[in-house]
């Protein structure tokens, strides 16, 4: 891995339903970082994909009366479509039913087996199919036997499995986390995880009898056993790079940043590093843990009927608005809420009024008063420190706040210096024309800087602002960036008219 390379990964969603806003969040956060790295001149490899094995997917296929492979073949395209619609600029998309992935995971299994890291044992305990997770007795008791995330009772299992000796790596993993060699961001999630493993990592079941789990990767040399879906899924971060055969994986591993939701941190901070250490490979540098999106304060769930389709939001307001809301109103490292009303208010207010109108009015004044010609823009005087700092600490919502500080300051500046009044004075005051040119070049220079800062967040808007002002001549046909939409909030113009 050279310094010029950067590898960004996202969790791979299960394909047992349509993609929802939560999946979009993983992709968006990773995309901001990937675009930011590219701006800094890095060569970025950006993995996404889908998790296609496991019982809950097999159950969906059975419901539809089709084979699991046919079912996943019909589903993965929805996630690719989401990635495209979100304008997420990835380099790789992995499917875990892919034959290359399957062979590479079997290789990984064999390496861990050679290292003496497996033993056979009987698993007596609980399982949640929704989480595809083994549940400790303590956790089952705390939740009264019902998964709080899926609202379904845990299954009782008694079966022969292979166990992986994750416990062997407790000290190494704890040290890697404590020393920041594998950073967990934010800090409170790091502390939570360290607390969880303070008595040591438990050995983990990594296979299930084929009769209980038929849809998965067979254990090499033991046809009676199928690999546990997490071993299969976690390995995607390596197999997608061509591990072990194609040596280019070495240019990108270890991942610089792995974006995961808070519910799956324990798999990424516990099992995955143990597998990597078992293979003799370095650990990801940063696990970036985001929170969950709620809807009107409640957990978004199909069963509650408050699930929101990302496609629905994008149809109404466009992808840039979607990116804006979920990157600013959902704190990158914590939970955040969505309501249609708040979304629409942010769209009309911050994107429409603050930014869209600003671009429009500066461009219109340059056209009207200077036939579209901009004087040399002066170097911007804004302090970029807070923005850079927010980006480096992965608080992308704070970075957007900083951009809006500049947007608002420019609006206030224009309201204060009133270029339209300066324009009126040009016939009588010789200095007025130069003053006006200065105001407008300062404004367009600041907008170009805003565009630069928006590149990771709103790439299309950034490009539109850039092409309006960067050439020095404002084109005639500037379209409004964010035309008003009033579906969920009253239109003030309508109230005035009545």
Q: x/- binding map, residues 296-315, to ligand MSP, per CB under 6 A?
A: ----x---------------
Question: 5, 100, 150, 262: which one is catalytic?
Answer: 150
The C-alpha atoms of residue 26 and residue 259 are separated, in whole angstroms, by 6
Bridge-based pairing of strands 336-338 and 183-185 is unpaired
Interaction between residue 32 and ligand MSP (CB under 6 A): no
Known catalytic residue: 147?
yes
Interaction between residue 157 and ligand MSP (CB under 6 A): no
DSSP 150-197: T-SBPEEEEEEEEEE-GGGGHHHHHHHHHHTSSEEESHHHHHHHHHHT
Question: 5, 181, 285, 299: which one is catalytic?
Answer: 299
The C-alpha atoms of residue 243 and residue 108 are separated, in whole angstroms, by 9
Nearer to ligand MSP, 264 or 450 (CB): 264
Burial class of residue 431 in the structure, from the number of CB atoms within 10 Å of its CB (0-12 exposed, 13-18 middle, 19+ buried) = exposed
Q: How far is the CB of 26 from ligand MSP (least distance, A)?
A: 5
The correct pick among 277, 293, 399, 474 for binding ligand MSP (CB under 6 A) is 293
Tokens, residue 63: 């419901």
Helix (H) or strand (E) holding 433: helix 432-454
The correct pick among 6, 7, 8, 23 for binding ligand MSP (CB under 6 A) is 23
The correct pick among 292, 323, 398, 442 for binding ligand MSP (CB under 6 A) is 292
Nearer to ligand MSP, 16 or 441 (CB): 16
Write down the residue that tokens 């159950």 correspond to.
59
Q: Which stretch binds ligand MSP (CB under 6 A): 33-41, 78-86, 228-236, 319-327?
A: 228-236
DSSP 11-38: PPPBSSS---HHHHHHHHHHHHHHHHHH
CB 226 within 8 Å of CB 210: yes
Among residues 361, 461, 483, the alpha carbon closest in space to that of 411 is found at: 361
Q: Which stretch binds ligand MSP (CB under 6 A): 11-19, 39-47, 59-67, 461-469?
A: 11-19
Residue at shortest CB range from ligand MSP: 261
The correct pick among 51, 52, 320, 402 for binding ligand MSP (CB under 6 A) is 51
- Chain length of the chain: 498
Tokens, residue 61: 């296929």
The correct pick among 6, 7, 8, 25 for binding ligand MSP (CB under 6 A) is 25
Q: Which stretch binds ligand MSP (CB under 6 A): 109-117, 171-179, 231-239, 441-449?
A: 231-239
- Which residues are catalytically annotated? 20, 23, 128, 131, 147, 150, 299, 302
Q: Contact positions toward ligand MSP, by CB under 6 A?
A: 11-14, 22-23, 25-26, 51, 233-234, 236, 260-261, 263-264, 292-293, 300
């Amino acid at each position: 891995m050279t310094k010029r390379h950067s590898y960004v990964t996202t969790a791979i969603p299960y394909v047992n339903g349509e993609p929802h806003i939560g999946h979009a969040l993983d992709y968006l956060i990773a995309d901001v970082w990937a675009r930011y790295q590219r701006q800094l001149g890095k060569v970025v490899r950006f993995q996404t994909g889908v998790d296609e094995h496991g019982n809950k997917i097999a159950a969906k296929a059975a419901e539809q009366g089709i084979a699991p492979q046919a079912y996943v073949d019909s589903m993965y395209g929805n996630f690719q479509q989401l990635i495209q619609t979100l304008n997420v600029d990835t380099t790789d998309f992995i499917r875990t039913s892919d034959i290359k992935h399957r062979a590479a995971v079997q290789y990984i299994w064999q390496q861990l087996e050679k290292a003496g890291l497996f033993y056979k044992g009987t698993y007596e305990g609980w399982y949640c199919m929704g989480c595809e997770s083994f549940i400790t007795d303590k956790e089952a008791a705390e939740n009264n036997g019902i998964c709080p995330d899926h609202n379904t009772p845990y299954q009782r299992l008694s079966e022969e499995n292979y166990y992986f000796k994750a416990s062997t790596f407790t000290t190494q993993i704890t040290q890697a986390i404590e020393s920041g060699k594998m950073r967990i961001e934010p800090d409170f999630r790091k502390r939570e995880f360290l607390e969880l493993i303070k008595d040591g990592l438990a050995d983990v079941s990594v296979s299930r009898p084929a009769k209980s789990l038929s849809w998965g990767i067979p254990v090499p040399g033991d046809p009676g056993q199928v690999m546990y879906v997490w071993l299969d899924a976690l390995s995607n971060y390596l197999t997608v790079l061509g591990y072990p055969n194609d040596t280019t994986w070495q240019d990108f591993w270890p991942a610089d940043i792995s974006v995961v939701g808070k519910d799956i941190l324990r798999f990424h901070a516990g099992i995955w590093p143990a597998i990597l250490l078992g293979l003799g490979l370095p650990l990801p540098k940063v696990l970036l843990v985001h929170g969950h999106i709620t809807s009107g304060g409640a957990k978004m769930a199909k069963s509650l009927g408050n699930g929101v389709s990302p496609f629905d939001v994008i149809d109404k307001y466009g992808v840039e608005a979607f990116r804006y809301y979920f990157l600013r109103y959902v704190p990158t490292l914590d939970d955040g809420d969505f309501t249609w009303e708040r979304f629409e208010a942010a769209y009309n207010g911050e994107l429409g009024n603050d930014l869209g109108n600003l671009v429009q009015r500066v461009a219109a004044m340059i056209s009207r008063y200077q036939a579209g010609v901009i004087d040399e823009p002066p170097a911007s005087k804004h302090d970029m420190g807070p923005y850079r700092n927010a980006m480096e600490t992965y608080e992308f919502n704070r970075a957007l706040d900083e951009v809006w500080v500049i947007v608002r300051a420019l609006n206030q500046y224009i309201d204060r210096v009133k270029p339209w009044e300066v324009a009126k004075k040009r016939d009588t005051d010789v200095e007025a024309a130069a003053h006006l040119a200065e105001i407008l070049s300062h404004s367009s220079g600041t907008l170009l800087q805003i565009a630069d800062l928006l590149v990771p967040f709103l790439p299309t808007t950034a490009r539109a602002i850039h092409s309006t002002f960067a050439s020095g001549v404002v084109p005639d046909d500037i379209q409004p960036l964010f035309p008003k939409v009033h579906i969920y909030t009253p239109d003030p113009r309508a109230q005035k008219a009545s």
